Amino acid sequence: MTRRFYVTTPIYYVNGAPHIGHAYTSIAADVMARFHRLAGHDVFFLTGTDEHGQKVEQAAQAAGVEPQVFVDRIAADFRDMADAMAISYDDFIRTTEPRHVAGAQALWERVAQNDAIYLGAYEGWYALRDECFYGEDELTTGPDGQKLAPTGAPVEWVKEPSYFFRLSAFQDRLLELYEQCPEFLGPHGARNEIISFVRQGLRDLSISRTSFKWGIPVPGDEAHVMYVWFDALANYLSALGFPDTNSARAAYWPADLHLVGKDIARFHAIYWPAFLMAAGIDVPRRIFANGWWTIEGQKMSKSIGNVIDPRDLVREFGLDAVRFFLLREVPFGGDSDLSRKALITRNNVELANDLGNLAQRTLSLVAKNCEGTIPERGEPSVEDTQLLGQVAILPQLMAVQMERCALTDALEDVWKVIRACNAYIDHQAPWALRKTDTTRMASVLRVLLDALRGIATVLQPFMPQTMERMLDQLAVQPDERNLAALETPLPAGRSLPAPQGLFPRYVEPEATV
RNA sequence: GGCGGCGUAGCUCAGUGGUAGAGCAGGGGAAUCAUAAUCCCUUGGUCGGAGGUUCAAAUCCUUCCGCCGCUACCA
């Protein structure tokens, strides 16, 4: 039976414009989705937007528009960003869609039926003027002893009726989950933090509000709307048609992988499985948290003004160079720095020099010396066998890295082979063989063409546009571009198009330093 | 304060008991098919400090120094 693979990005909160951090998580998820499709798996790849909550309500008010108008606008921008980054999502869910509202309410009812929800009161410091709660540590005390919010508004201790989720009842089952399924949560650092957090003891979770309206009504008590996380997390199920178990997508559950930013790892690793356990639904197989990007060594923030829109980078450097950089620069899972210099170096050294130039020199030798057609395979030398062997194991090697969410390591594995190809072509020197042994020359070039085909095939998930062009240049037909097709050599004699550069070197315009 | 992580070549990092590694940067050489790209060789580290266990420690233990993360309802 075909293996199913269900991968998600977080649904992004429409409080602000999309930035490089959103793009990063989505690209990582996209690579996973594309790789599994390449392996012939039945993939469902979900992304979307989280559109409820008080902050959105307030932001809409500030913008002078209805919340729905406001979220329509921002959601469209996120979708545009996803498309600009070539994110191959199968569905884009929005929490304001009726199907999600129905799914979230159904999940609530399941949880409630199992006695995991009770009505209590949410207590806290409330500022009437700001219409919101503040934490004790955010408050200051005014000259007359009045407690004040950071905004200067006076606060008072109030109780608001709220439904609570019995999170405390799930502590042991959660710890058992982390223990028995070590792969449930990654990377290691995030896992340790979550475990120690849960060990400290869990309090019940307030999961409804009456203080604002922009949310999903609680079933049976319309005075309440669901508090954000219950609403948001349910998206992973509602996109599958939950609670309809006959839905065409129902079989994708449990999700294989939820990719998330490290800031929301906790909600996915604690609340989400607890909600599901309470509802009697299987928990997802794996949660993986990625780190933050700093910009030129600085934290990305609106006040510094260094927030980067990934679309700007794409306009300047090209989509694939940006995708490649983000996944290549540092170990996936850790924090990383985005600097202009590093991006240009990666592009020039690894894409233009290592890979682009390898393809160019190989293809132009074939064009000039083999009448532009794929040569026959010759009797393989030790070197030939060794190089082709390295190429042949790439799919398995990368599949293992994908399971680990080690996208950087997967790329490193490919680059080892690319470097080996450059060493091979230099040692074999087909330009010298042209004068002494044209048969061997043709064999050498054929080895290189086969190696390039393998390399381009496995790199498709990372750089879909450029690898498509590379495979075109190698005369690989559309149905010969998946992993299984690599088992079948291309027929000799097939003619190749005229070679064209794949990755231009980036030359920094005149510096004005 | 508590819990956890990190500190290895100029830079980014890999390496969890057995003679210190990769990429980039630096130096020398080769080649000239190619996007002046490539290949080969090479400089460079008392593996944060100290102590301990061991025949043997970057790798285990103790302690100290420095940096970072988490410590719940912010979506």
Distance, angstroms, CA A343 to C1' B12? Answer: 13
Distance, angstroms, CA A289 to C1' B4? Answer: 16
The DSSP bridge pattern shows strands A140-141 and A147-148 to be antiparallel
Across A194-203, average pLDDT: 90
CA A200 to mean position of chain CA atoms: 30
| Nucleotide with C1' nearest the A430 CA | B33
Give the separation between CA A87 and CA A55, rounded to whole angstroms: 27
| Nucleotide with C1' nearest the A123 CA | B73
Is A268 within 8 Å of A161 (Cβ atoms)? Answer: no
Distance, angstroms, CA A499 to C1' B60? Answer: 57
- For A29-58, what is each residue's pLDDT tens digit? 999 999 999 999 999 999 999 999 988 998
**So what's the pLDDT on residue A334?**
67
Who contacts A480 (Cβ-Cβ below 8 Å, separation ≥6)? A488, A490
Who contacts A81 (Cβ-Cβ below 8 Å, separation ≥6)? A18, A22, A23, A309, A310, A311
Look at residue A511 and tell me whether its pLDDT is greater than 50: no
| Nucleotide with C1' nearest the A423 CA | B39
Q: Which range, of A164-168, A231-235, A336-340, averages the lowest pLDDT? A: A336-340
Across A177-197, average pLDDT: 87
| Nucleotide with C1' nearest the A165 CA | B73
* Better-predicted residue by pLDDT, A282 or A510: A282
Distance, angstroms, CA A423 to C1' B29? Answer: 16
**So what's the pLDDT on residue A155?**
79
Across A73-102, average pLDDT: 97
| Nucleotide with C1' nearest the A162 CA | B73
**So what's the pLDDT on residue A331?**
64
Sign of CA dihedral A102, A105, A110, A111: positive
Judged on CB neighbours under 10 Å (0-12, 13-18, 19+), A201 is exposed
Q: How would residue A513 be classed by pLDDT, with cut points 50, 70 and 90? A: very low
**Which of A104, A164, A156 lies closest to A134, judged by CA?**
A156
Q: How would residue A301 be classed by pLDDT, with cut points 50, 70 and 90? A: confident
Distances (CA, A) of A170 to A186, A272, A394: 20, 11, 42
Judged on CB neighbours under 10 Å (0-12, 13-18, 19+), A487 is exposed
Who contacts A427 (Cβ-Cβ below 8 Å, separation ≥6)? A383
**So what's the pLDDT on residue A179?**
87
Across A304-315, average pLDDT: 87
Distance, angstroms, CA A52 to C1' B3? Answer: 34
Q: Which range, of A79-83, A209-213, A440-444, averages the lowest pLDDT? A: A209-213
Distances (CA, A) of A482 to A80, A319, A320, A487: 28, 22, 19, 10
Rounded to a whole number of angstroms, the distance between the first and last alpha carbons of chain A is: 61
**So what's the pLDDT on residue A99?**
96
Q: Which amino acid, one-letter code, is at A194?
A: I
Look at residue A512 and tell me whether its pLDDT is greater than 60: no
Q: Which range, of A3-17, A102-116, A142-156, averages the lowest pLDDT? A: A142-156
Q: Which residue has the tokens 């896992």?
A: A191
Instruction: Enumerate the nucleotides of strand B whose atoms come under 7 Å of any protein CB.
Output: 2-5, 12-14, 23-25, 31-35, 37-40, 69-75
Across A418-432, average pLDDT: 96
How long is chain A?
Answer: 513
Give the separation between CA A215 and CA A101, rounded to whole angstroms: 9
Which two structure tokens, joined as six digits, stand for A349? 């050294």
Which two structure tokens, joined as six digits, stand for A489? 């050599």
What's the mean pLDDT when you consider all of chain A? Answer: 91
| Nucleotide with C1' nearest the A12 CA | B75
pLDDT-above-90 percentage for chain A: 72
**Which of A210, A243, A226 lies closest to A117, judged by CA?**
A226
**So what's the pLDDT on residue A54?**
87
- For A319-377, what is each residue's pLDDT tens digit? 999 999 998 876 666 678 888 888 898 899 999 999 999 999 999 999 999 999 999 99
Is A208 within 8 Å of A220 (Cβ atoms)? Answer: no
**So what's the pLDDT on residue A91?**
98
**So what's the pLDDT on residue A322?**
94
> What is the topology classification, in CATH, of domain A340-487?
Isoleucyl-tRNA Synthetase; Domain 1 (1.10.730)
The DSSP bridge pattern shows strands A4-13 and A257-261 to be parallel
Distances (CA, A) of A364 to A91, A235, A357, A401: 42, 51, 10, 33
**So what's the pLDDT on residue A160?**
86
DSSP string, A434-450: HHH-HHHHHHHHHHHHH
Across A186-193, average pLDDT: 84
Look at residue A404 and tell me whether its pLDDT is greater than 90: no
* Better-predicted residue by pLDDT, A481 or A17: A481
Q: Where are the domains of chain A?
A: 4-291, 340-487
Is A21 within 8 Å of A261 (Cβ atoms)? Answer: yes
Look at residue A229 and tell me whether its pLDDT is greater than 60: yes
Distance, angstroms, CA A77 to C1' B74? Answer: 23
Is A21 within 8 Å of A294 (Cβ atoms)? Answer: no
> What is the topology classification, in CATH, of domain A4-291?
Rossmann fold (3.40.50)
Distance, angstroms, CA A513 to C1' B13? Answer: 31
Judged on CB neighbours under 10 Å (0-12, 13-18, 19+), A478 is exposed
**So what's the pLDDT on residue A300?**
78
Is A102 within 8 Å of A235 (Cβ atoms)? Answer: no
DSSP string, A16-73: S---HHHHHHHHHHHHHHHHHHHTT-EEEEEEEEE--SHHHHHHHHHHTS-HHHHHHH
Across A6-18, average pLDDT: 92
